[in-house]
Structure 1
Amino acid sequence: MHLPFATDASFSHISVNPIHPTFGAEVREVDFSKPLTDEVFSEIYSAITKYGVLVFRNTGLTDEGHIAFAKRFGELDDITPYLALGRKNRLKYNELFDVSNVEFDGSILDPESPRGQGNKGNGLFHVDSSFNPRRAGYSLLLSHELPPPGMGGATAFADTRTAFDELPVDLKADLVANDYVAAHSIHHSRKLAAPEFYADRNPLDYPMGRHKMVQRHEPSRRMNLYIAAHIHHIEGLGPEASQKLFDRVFTHCTQAKYVTEVEWKQPGDLIAWDNTCVMHRACHSLELGQSMNVYLWWP
């Protein structure tokens, strides 16, 4: 199998090594100790357009460097609205989102705490911020501290462009003909992951993001399945039909042949991905790091 991408990309300023037959690559020969030239960033952008997921090892990035790199992709998200009422941001900048298991005072997060329960949803395949009206484009996750070797440390990704290409004929025809819109809710995915803790939470009591399930991925011009565990229902269908269709598409997209796991090896490792052509999930709850989302800038 080879990569079916819309436009060929050649690389002379960076080294790009695929990590899966259809998507994902490790990028080398990028010097983050100084501002990236336009030529280098252009090739990084071409690589993420082609592969969807890029892995950069031992970057040495500071918080400021992390933010500067993310800004090259577009407008940054502000994490302030995501902070629970009264919770302080442990990190210096509001562009950085704390995805660690560390509390503000440096103690280890209690997995039974509200934040710990909410974090369980990160273990479900999803795309960032699909529960908002404006989708997130790119996410850049930088590791700062990792669990000891052998105790886990990976993020899984699913290739939703190739999954669209290889849909069963009848399912693809149904999705394309009906142009379904799905309603995404963070309360729904949290309830799926921690049903007892969120037993009294009704996702319908909260706003949802509504997005088409089949979309064109504009940078590559390939079609994509925009799907996530955040999906509460598919509009225009009854509950049973909605769940049946979602389950069929989601199960198709998360087959082993469309999934790769990226191991976090050392502090300074960074993974960048495009939420509009891949899903991701945490393979455990121990990785310590910080990320930021970049808003979409294409129509």
Structure 2
Amino acid sequence: MTTTQVITKKPVIQTKTANNGIRYKPLHPTFGAEAYADFSLINQEFVEEIKKGLAKYGVLVFRKTGLDDARHVEMSKLFGDLDDIAPFVGGLGQKNRLSSDYLFDVGNVNPDGTVMQPGGMRDLLLRCNYHFHADSAFNPRRAGISLLLAHELPPAGFGGDTEFADTRTAYQGLDDARKEEIKDWVVCNSQLNCRRNANIDENGKLNPLLDTDEFDPMKHKFGKHKLVQTHEPSGQTNLYIAAHAHHVEDLPIEEGQKQLHDLLLHAGKPEYTFKVTWQDVGDLVIWDNTCTLHRSVPGRYAGIYKRDLRRTTVHDMSSQAWGLNGEGATWRSGLD
């Protein structure tokens, strides 16, 4: 089956219906739902209903929405303030092939439209996406909601799924002694930490292209956020951790790194995760970065077929948005 063929909509039995007609079919015992909605009319009321679904499920999967770049961006603006890629385009000399600076290009398509090949610098930097993370945990103001839209997909069976982890239930799965131990920890996050760790070979050697001061987390600012937080939309306690987590403030570096590694492995246990298989152009996945983690799953499409996914990122609007970084800070991880 190719991505251009019609796929019959899944049955909507055993779903729950919101006031505006959004229906939810749970995908996992504790989080995630396939959601059914009409995207022909997008307004603030529609978005507020989606937010209610996110507060409960954390991840919502909408199929064949019919959205294009413009409507994707305009809908996203109704969720809150949007992050943009302009600092990275200017600061790193990158070229944006997309129509808006509010669209983050997280696919494998080069600016000239060709398929990205393994081993190049862009491929090395994007390998971080194969590790569980929360968007923008490394910046002074973290991400709240992300909206990822499919524009072109590999043929069925070639991979490219996206996996999600439930960090609210992961916190509940810790024993009381562990919860007490970590309750006041402040985590120092760096995008560069994830990029380096994603490019260490089986012998423990870092790719020399990233073995420079430019990619050394200790030579740049860290996004500081508390590890244990209240997820305000649901009122549940959450474990805010990601592959960007470099060390714990006030702990020896190596000890903190080991502790964070163990907690990230805990959050990624099978009982806390599920995968979304992209089916059609127009599929949209919306998730809350403050109570879930996500990662791209490698597949056989790499270097052969396009996987063109575009994300808008809504800044966190909660009282914990800025962490311990100072409200209004404008620096970006790796560009400071």
Q: Same fold, TM exceeding 0.5? A: yes
Question: Which of these residues, 124, 133, 136, is aligned with residue 126 of structure 1?
Answer: 133
Cα distance in 2 for partners of 1:85, 1:254 equals: 32
Question: What runs of 5+ residues in structure 2 fail to find an aligned partner?
Answer: 1-15, 200-205, 320-336
Cα distance in 2 for partners of 1:261, 1:82 equals: 29
Q: Aligned pairs, how many?
A: 287
Does residue 1:157 correspond to 2:164, yes or no?
yes
Name the residue aligned to 2:236: 222
Cα distance in 1 for partners of 2:146, 2:198 equals: 22
Q: Deviations over 1:235-261 (max 9, x none)?
A: 111123212311221121111000110
Provide the aligned C-alpha RMSD in A. Answer: 1.5
Name the residue aligned to 1:207: 221
Name the residue aligned to 2:109: 102
Name the residue aligned to 2:33: 25
> Deviation of residue 37 (structure 1)?
6.0
Cα distance in 2 for partners of 1:105, 1:269 equals: 24
Residue 17 of structure 2 contacts residue 24 of structure 2 at CA under 8 Å; is this kept in 1? no
Does residue 1:191 correspond to 2:205, yes or no?
no
Cα distance in 1 for partners of 2:39, 2:127 equals: 32
Name the residue aligned to 1:294: 314
Name the residue aligned to 1:82: 88
> Deviation of residue 99 (structure 1)?
1.0
**SS state of the match for residue 163, structure 1?**
helix
> Deviation of residue 292 (structure 1)?
1.0
> Deviation of residue 82 (structure 1)?
2.5
Name the residue aligned to 1:4: none
> Deviation of residue 101 (structure 1)?
0.8
Residue 31 of structure 2 contacts residue 57 of structure 2 at CA under 8 Å; is this kept in 1? yes
Cα distance in 2 for partners of 1:168, 1:148 equals: 43
Residue 33 of structure 1 contacts residue 61 of structure 1 at CA under 8 Å; is this kept in 2? no
Question: Which of these residues, 112, 118, 122, is aligned with residue 111 of structure 1?
Answer: 118
**SS state of the match for residue 289, structure 1?**
strand
Q: Deviations over 1:201-259 (max 9, x none)?
A: 32111111011000111111111000001011111111232123112211211110001
Residue 160 of structure 1 contacts residue 224 of structure 1 at CA under 8 Å; is this kept in 2? yes
- Which amino acid in 2 is paired with 1:202? D
**SS state of the match for residue 58, structure 1?**
coil
Structure 2 length-normalised TM:
0.82
- Which amino acid in 2 is paired with 1:155? T
Identical-residue share of aligned pairs (%): 45
Cα distance in 1 for partners of 2:51, 2:131 equals: 27
**SS state of the match for residue 262, structure 2?**
helix
Structure 1 length-normalised TM:
0.92
Question: Which of these residues, 16, 40, 47, is aligned with residue 41 of structure 1?
Answer: 47
Residue 47 of structure 2 contacts residue 79 of structure 2 at CA under 8 Å; is this kept in 1? no
Q: Deviations over 1:268-297 (max 9, x none)?
A: 000000000000000027532100100111
Does residue 1:268 correspond to 2:282, yes or no?
yes
**SS state of the match for residue 210, structure 2?**
coil
- Which amino acid in 1 is paired with 2:311? S
Change (3 A) 1:212 1:93: same
> Deviation of residue 100 (structure 1)?
1.3
Cα distance in 2 for partners of 1:82, 1:122 equals: 17
Q: Deviations over 1:143-190 (max 9, x none)?
A: 0000111100210000000111121221111112xx100110111100
Does residue 1:255 correspond to 2:269, yes or no?
yes
Cα distance in 2 for partners of 1:159, 1:171 equals: 18
Mean Cα displacement is larger for which, 68-77 or 258-267? 68-77
- Which amino acid in 1 is paired with 2:168? R
- Which amino acid in 1 is paired with 2:63? R
Question: Which of these residues, 289, 292, 298, is aligned with residue 284 of structure 1?
Answer: 298
